[in-house]
Amino acid sequence: MRTKESGITARRLIIAVFTALFLSQAHASIEQSRIAFEDLKSKLGISFTPDLVPSTKVCQLFVVQHGTTEWNEVKRFQGWSMRPYLNERGISEIEKVASLLSKFEIAAIYSSDLTRAKQSALIIKRRLNNRCPLYFSSKFRGTNHASLIGKREENCKDDPHVKHYFSLRLEDRIFCSIAEGGESISDLTIRMIPEIREICKKYPNKNVVLVTHGASLRCLNVIAHKNYQFIESHGVPRGSVMRLDVCVDKNNEIAIMPASLDYLQFQQQLSGYPTSCSSEFTDDLE
């Protein structure tokens, strides 16, 4: 009996040691990511200064999250998968967004190259009924969920990376991937910002639509140095719009006007949309 109990105790001790080792390594990794992100934002020319005086050439960027898919409905990690398609609800969401955007003169549409985003972008372009160019790019994808792609959320609760991710403070999650071998929000920032800078330089004083994913909206919120906890804790509604005034200054630094970063106020113009986000709108699965 003692031998059996000793064996159980030993196994528990081994599990505890490996768990502690994993958490300590993960914490160190977050600190390294934070330092690397601070360094790279400087190299990328990302300005976090709220009082940065912008140039007169401001690009108004309408950032749209793709509509709901079947995978969203069953809480399945999508990541970079091309398989999820918009369902009827998702199509309806984007048609409402397209109707709202039709009130503006749109110079161009950019989109993630993943199927659900491409479908959303095509619906918007068709509703706008104009000749504005439509570009697809992998740079506008959401975060890569790597080993979690295709898995149901309920089946991943015991995954050590998932457990660690949700144990972090909300503001620290931008430096950590929810999946082994996946991307963090800071990785996404580094990938996406150079592309947005080029859009702003190409379309000064113009309106541009960007169709992307929930993580990308959080990424832009971090760059604008706004309240990250609010966006993270409330989620980002699928089929929502975030309006940004973005400029590139004389030093080639990209800046986002903090006062314009308020997708909830803009969203209230959409009939049938909630004015606050419910817990159903989780973008970790996007």
The C-alpha atoms of residue 7 and residue 183 are separated, in whole angstroms, by 38
Winning range, highest mean pLDDT, from 113-117, 182-186, 211-215, 238-242: 113-117
Does 158 have pLDDT greater than 80? yes
Question: What's the one-letter identity of residue 40?
Answer: L
| Contacts of residue 104, Cβ cutoff 8 Å, sequence gap at least 6 | 62, 207
Model pTM score: 0.76
Q: 101-137 pLDDT, tens per residue?
A: 998 999 999 999 999 999 999 999 999 987 899 999 9
Per-residue pLDDT band for 157 (boundaries 50, 70, 90) equals confident
Angstrom distance (rounded) from CA 195 to CA 199: 6
Strand pairing report for 207-212 and 106-112? parallel
Residue 250 or residue 161, greater confidence: 161
Give residue 216's pLDDT band: very low, low, confident or very high (50, 70, 90). confident
Place of tokens 């699965």: 285
Fold (topology level) of 2-267: Rossmann fold (3.40.50)
Taking a C-beta distance cutoff of 8 angstroms, is the pair 67, 239 a contact?
Answer: yes
Q: How would residue 262 be classed by pLDDT, with cut points 50, 70 and 90?
A: very low
Confirm if 30 and 168 have CB atoms less than 8 A apart.
Answer: yes
